Amino acid sequence: MSRQEITFTPDASASLDTIINQAQPDRLFLLCDKTTERLCRPLLAQCSALADANLISIPSGDLSKEITTVGMVWTALVQHGATRRSLLVNLGGGMVTDLGGFAASTFKRGIRFINIPTTLLAQVDASVGGKTGINWMGLKNEVGVFQNALHVLIDTHFLATLDDENMRSGYAEMLKHGLISNQDHWQELMRFDLDKPDLKALLPLIQRSVGVKQDIVLQDPTEKGLRKALNFGHTLGHAIESLAMENDSPILHGRAVAWGMLGELYLSHRRLGFPLPLMRQATDYIIGHYGRCPIECRQYDRIVKLMGHDKKNHDGHIFCTLLSNIGKIELDQRLDTDEIKEALDFMREGV
């Protein structure tokens, strides 16, 4: 998989016009969910290439990230005569870019697609790196393929449409990138005022965050080794997210990852000597901005079972990415049930 084509732009309409004109598709499709159709599509009103695009609008929310919705996209592509030379533009958050990328990658064994991420989470994580997918049987991203978008356009103007909760969700992935990269980037993230986010000041942090992911993906595009570093916080986080879905009270991905990082930082300290002052700094920041993880002791066994579905596991054992220090990544750390439950205690209590 080659390096992802990414453009950071102050004018998504003009940049998109250029890319579409270069691609010369025979038919053009625009995929939105109901929220991004209302809030974000108007920000592309000056894109002349989209004037003749076929709009595909799907329900909003992570509960739509499933095979029935993919079927809706496939059906619309067939009904409007899509061919292998067609192009799908995914305008939305991680749900839209993940699902749209999967639908495009499998339709006629693959058509081209462009991602225009409209949430912070999608800009720094979901839309970049070539992972596409949907949820299956309540499990996060259980079905999918690796396929790069033709291009990713990142414009912070879209972030003005976000509420506070979605900003925090995206920032959690940036915190992860800071922890797996270097001290300087981590401390930059600690200094940013997440309560009153300045989008101009945020842009260089987004660029560095995307750069962290790009460098790792380029070395390990299909997650055979180093790319597992990007799953820091996700082994526990995905289980918390899946539990919330089971209970019909879904939470945003980034919030689950923030809580997952609490538990995995605890395991990193306990097992690998991750420095206590840095663990305390991260814990205070996460609890201060994301609250305490609202799990109960009676749910521990179910969380452990959900962790058993993680794609990094093998031979019936749960494996996790941990850190011995900021930027010091330790892959394939086998966890036992007792230490997982200790980490869950820490996630609840943060002490």
Known active-site residue 148: no
d(C-alpha 86, C-alpha 77), whole Å: 9
Active-site residue, from 112, 168, 227, 269: 227
- Name the burial class of residue 269, with classes exposed (0-12), middle (13-18) and buried (19+) by CB atoms within 10 angstroms of its CB: buried
Known active-site residue 309: no
Active-site residue, from 234, 255, 269, 348: 234
Known active-site residue 38: no
Active-site residue, from 109, 191, 200, 298: 109
- Residues 133, 98 contacting (CB under 8 angstroms): yes
Known active-site residue 296: no
Known active-site residue 317: no
d(C-alpha 83, C-alpha 325), whole Å: 49
Known active-site residue 234: yes
Active-site residue, from 140, 141, 166, 173: 173
Active-site residue, from 41, 65, 112, 131: 131
Known active-site residue 141: no
Name the pairing type of β-strands 112-117 and 151-154: parallel
Known active-site residue 213: yes
Active-site residue, from 90, 115, 166, 231: 231
Name the pairing type of β-strands 328-335 and 151-154: unpaired
Active-site residue, from 112, 140, 208, 253: 253
**Residue 264: both structure tokens together:** 């995995």
Strand order in the sheet with 87-92: 6-8, 151-154, 112-117, 87-92, 28-33, 54-58
- Name the burial class of residue 39, with classes exposed (0-12), middle (13-18) and buried (19+) by CB atoms within 10 angstroms of its CB: middle
Known active-site residue 228: no
Active-site residue, from 37, 223, 241, 264: 223
**CA nearest to 101, candidates 149, 53, 64:** 149
Known active-site residue 231: yes
136 three-class SS: strand
- Point out which residues pair with 116 in neighbouring strands: 91
**CA nearest to 134, candidates 74, 223, 76, 69:** 69
Active-site residue, from 208, 238, 269, 348: 238
Active-site residue, from 213, 228, 255, 269: 213
d(C-alpha 76, C-alpha 276), whole Å: 53
What residues are labeled active site? 109, 131, 173, 213, 223, 227, 231, 234, 238, 253
